[in-house]
Amino acid sequence: MSYRHWLPVAAALAVAALATGLLWLAPRGSASGSGVGRAIGGVALVNDATRRPVLGLTPVTDGTVVDLTRLAGARLSLRADPAGDAKPSSVRFTMTGANGGTYTHTDSRAPYFLCDDYVDCPLLARPDDYTLTVQAYSDDIELGAPFTVRFSVAAGAPARPVDVLFVGNSLLGTVNKTSGEDTPALVRHLAAAAGREINVTKVIHSGYTLRQTWDDGLVATALGGAKRYDFIVLQEYSTLVATDPSAATNTLLNTYAPTFARALKPGGRVVLFKNWALVDPAPFPSRAAATTAIDTNYAALSAALVTPNLLAPIGDEFETIIAAQGAAHLIEPDGKHPNDTAVYLDAATLYGILSGESPRTLADLYLPGPVASPLRETAATAIGY
């Protein structure tokens, strides 16, 4: 097999896919500049076996460490994602290792992989420090500025503490009845049981939109810059993104986004908590219609945010499980809030994203093994493991 069939980098899911109801849109991951004037929005680390981005390591940002010991057996490639409505006719990749060796390839077919779609990249199995530069073209003319990101592949990088800010309402704040832990606290508990440290800062107010949380001054200190975070998890009001996407977009882009430069650490990411459809789908005619609106509008929200970001596919996981076991398996009798099973599912999903490793081997904690294990499997698959 030729070398071009070994090195997978970056493919772009065109933003036009929004019109088809795409459930996950690769977020923008700016490593070189503000994002203005670029046709390439970011680079995703892809699990070739599942054909899904590995969330938490996607988008690849400056300083990202791909630890092979936490991705045991994973088949990995990279994919470049266009910014905004850019539609390149070709994309050129140049990937260089600090220990020598450069490979360059131009792909003229979307999705834009360095060498065929979902083909394992040997460089991603070789520890080194890499620089990847991606340039889009319209015919033979450069389209926007180049995108450059510097990241590392390691075999056994030491686990470091992860600092996370959670902002949301009762969908994050509902506590399980056994241990009295809400989702952020359970994420921290799961991490401790796995020998990891996730430091949690919470700004949670039941019934609030993100705008109300801001307007009441509740989140000002957390986003003031005195403390900086590896991740900021934002959970919007349960029906707002589906029913009033313009309000959700205005809050994210014009109110919260200006704080991210000071509140995120270098290479930090925003996690948008994509919620589930409620049992009562009003004003939509069905839960399926509500789910479609959630999927479409969250994808657009993610695409609009220049700060490196990703969607936590909580709603997708709910739909998978509800299709097999019914809504009562995850949703309280009020038709809205997560029950104890769902709190565990949410926490396992977020743990996988925040820690950069599969949640499959996490502790059962307060759930019986036969209940907890399938939840972890669903979460791991949804986030690319």
* Best CA proximity match to 188, nearest among 355, 21, 372: 355
Rounded CA-CA distance 315/241 in Å is 13
Predicted TM-score (pTM) of this structure: 0.86
- What b/e string do you get for 91-103 counting C-beta neighbours within 10 Å, with b at 16 or more? bbbbbbbeeeeeb
DSSP state of 176: P
Under a CB-based contact definition with an 8 Å cutoff, are residues 365 and 372 in contact?
A: yes
**Confidence class for position 26, pLDDT limits 50, 70, 90:** very low
pLDDT at 251: 98
User: Does 329 have pLDDT greater than 70?
Assistant: yes
What is the CA angle 370-375-378, rounded to 5? Answer: 130
Element (H, E) at 318: helix 314-325
Q: What is the mean pLDDT of the chain?
A: 89
Under a CB-based contact definition with an 8 Å cutoff, are residues 28 and 305 in contact?
A: yes
Element (H, E) at 350: helix 340-355
- Cα 373 from chain centroid? 22
Which residues share a beta bridge with 128?
A: 153
Give the list of residues 6+ apart from residue 284 with CB closer than 8 angstroms, or none. 242, 277, 290, 293
**Is 145 strand, coil or helix?**
strand
- 368, with CB counted inside 10 A (0-12, 13-18, 19+), is exposed
Question: E strands along 18-74, which residues?
Answer: 40-47, 52-53, 65-67
Count Cα atoms within 13 angstroms, Cβ side, for 266.
10
pLDDT tens column, 28-69? 333 443 445 779 999 999 998 888 999 989 999 999 999 998
In total, the chain counts a number of residues equal to 385
Q: Tell which CATH architecture fits domain 162-382.
A: 3-Layer(aba) Sandwich (3.40)
* Best CA proximity match to 59, nearest among 36, 84, 81, 33: 81
Rounded CA-CA distance 33/147 in Å is 8
Percent of the chain with pLDDT over 70: 90
Rounded CA-CA distance 71/237 in Å is 34
Averaged pLDDT for residues 216-225: 97
Q: What is the bridge-based pairing of β-strands 90-97 and 102-107?
A: antiparallel
Element (H, E) at 325: helix 314-325
pLDDT tens column, 73-125? 778 989 999 988 889 999 999 999 999 878 888 888 888 887 678 888 888 88
pLDDT at 115: 63
Rounded CA-CA distance 282/92 in Å is 46
* Best CA proximity match to 258, nearest among 299, 216, 307: 307
What is the CA angle 43-45-46, rounded to 5? Answer: 120
Under a CB-based contact definition with an 8 Å cutoff, are residues 321 and 378 in contact?
A: yes
* Best CA proximity match to 50, nearest among 122, 4, 117, 118: 118
**Is 363 strand, coil or helix?**
coil
Lowest-confidence segment of 41-50, 118-127, 192-201, 339-348 by average pLDDT: 118-127
Q: In the chain, which residues fall in CATH 3.40.50.1110?
A: 162-382
Lowest-confidence segment of 5-14, 228-237, 244-253, 260-269 by average pLDDT: 5-14
